[in-house]
Amino acid sequence: MYARKEDKNIIIMVVIIFVVSIVALIAIGNIIWKIISPGVALATTEISRLIAINRLDYNFPIPAKRESVSALPTPIEFTAEQQVVLARDLDYDFEIPNADNNRIVVGVTNFYEEIYTDSDFGPDRITEESNKNMIITINKLAINSPAYITPESSLALKFGFWMHSSSYKLNEGEMVFLCTRRYFDNNDPRSCYFMNYMSVNDTFSIEYNKEKFNYKVNAINYIKQDYQQIYENISSDKNSLKMVTTGALDSGRGRLVITANRI
């Protein structure tokens, strides 16, 4: 039995359409899969991770929430003297004296530079005024400052270290140098701001007329009062030296005395 030519053509067309449709569906499916496959992979990974976490056994109980505990303050016991002070009424009825502007020199007579008043202590041995004839170098503190020999402490204060009037001259006895901690900025090479970081056995040098003298610290003392004792006991030891500055940065009170011997 033979099919007609027209029927054969119809069958061939149907087969071709079917094949083309299958190819088109495969192509479309491939494109869709490329678009959604990253999301599917991520979702699969998350689901696997959650399942794995839920299967873990940490083998410890979760503690119940603890109520906060407030500590009672420890009672303070005042002395009889403190009780009297606490019971005293405040009295604001007092007269404020007028400031004497003629006695105020900024950077000199303020409390940070209380060391300036030390010029009144001790005997006078240095009387002549000199130029920049000494250089004090303390490498540990990055200090490189001129040192003046002058009774005019207020003038010397503006330039660096200065020699106290009770000091002996170099090679004639113990020398005493004063310096300030707040007159200059703390990064100024003439400032003694960080002088409290000096330690026993630290070394420094003094240059005088192109000759260099090295010293080693052998004592560091803090003096709270009676500063005149520093300058009334200057020895005739030619190799000893003192550097004096204020003992506290915040108040300018006290004295920091660094003693050294020539090496």
Tens-place pLDDT, residues 42-82: 888 878 777 766 665 556 565 565 565 555 566 677 777 67
**Closest listed residue to residue 177, CA positions, set 213, 232, 134:** 134
| The predicted structure's pLDDT at residue 53 | 64
pLDDT above 60 (res 104): no
Look up the pTM and report it.
0.55
Q: How confident is the model at residue 200 (pLDDT cuts 50, 70, 90)?
A: very high
Please list, in sequence order, all residues whose beta carbon lies within 8 angstroms of the beta carbon of residue 239, skipping any fewer than 6 positions away: 261, 262
Q: What is the rounded distance in angstroms from the CA atom of residue 87 to the CA atom of residue 84?
A: 5
Cβ 202 vs Cβ 216: under 8 Å:
yes
Q: Is 206 left (phi over 0), alpha (psi -120 to 50) or beta?
A: beta
Q: Which two tokens stand for residue 133?
A: 């004839």
When pLDDT is cut at 50, 70 and 90, the band that residue 24 belongs to is: confident
Asked if 161 and 147 touch (Cβ cutoff 8 Å), the reply is yes
Q: Report helix, strand or coil for 94.
A: coil
Residue 223 carries which DSSP code? E
Q: What is the mean pLDDT of the chain?
A: 78
* Most confident range, picked from 62-66, 135-139, 151-155: 135-139
Which H or E run includes 244? strand 240-246
Enter the tokens of residue 33. 């899969």
What number does CATH give the domain 105-262? 2.40.260.10
Average pLDDT, stretch 87-94? 63
CA angle in degrees (0–180, nearest 5) for 100-101-104:
100
User: Domain-by-domain residue ranges, the chain?
Assistant: 1-48, 105-262
| Whether the predicted pLDDT of 103 surpasses 50 | no
Residue 80, SS3 per DSSP: helix
Residue 36 tokens read as 């959604």
